[in-house]
Structure 1
Amino acid sequence: MTATAPARAFGLDGKGAIAEGFDADLAIWDPEASYTYGADDLHDNTGYNPFEGTTVKGMPRHVLSRGELLIRDRALVTEAPRGRWLPMRAG
């Protein structure tokens, strides 16, 4: 629903679908989870959290990328960064 059109618009072959040969990133969502962000909740190196103090309802419980579990029960379970550069073309 949120990946197919952008992948097509930016010419990202192998993205935007849950299908064999595609890079699928999936989030298993818990719509009942409630959470208030703290100062150090983001996995980045910016040194601050612009969402600190904000309470949200609904959180990802598990996240998979290219078939590998990255987050289990809201805890990071992978070691190294996994991102890679994909050139895009307007289409």
Structure 2
Amino acid sequence: VKDLDSTLDVIKEVGPQGHYMRQKHTRTHIRDFHYSPFFDQHDPEGNLREPREIALEQFKELEKNHHPEPLPEDSLKELEKILSAADKAASELGS
């Protein structure tokens, strides 16, 4: 959406229980959304591809090209504490 301020104004005006389709701004910009190639389920010949095939293809691409930074040591320690507490709580429920 080109005009973020007007979009945010509409969100504030409508609120969580409102109906955005009643807003002129929504009707004007409804097709301005981000297109994801995941939703294109056709091969180059126009044949419909299986969602599992598409997901596997995307997974392989991510696995090959995505190299995230490791978490900081303090974050890893905090996660270990959380997992340990969850394990303890789960085992107490099973007793």
Q: Give the TM bin, normalised by the shorter chain.
A: under 0.3
TM-score (norm 2): 0.17
Which protein shows a greater Rg? 2
Higher strand share: 1
Higher helix share: 2
Greater length-normalized contact order (CA 8 Å, ≥ 6 residues apart): 1
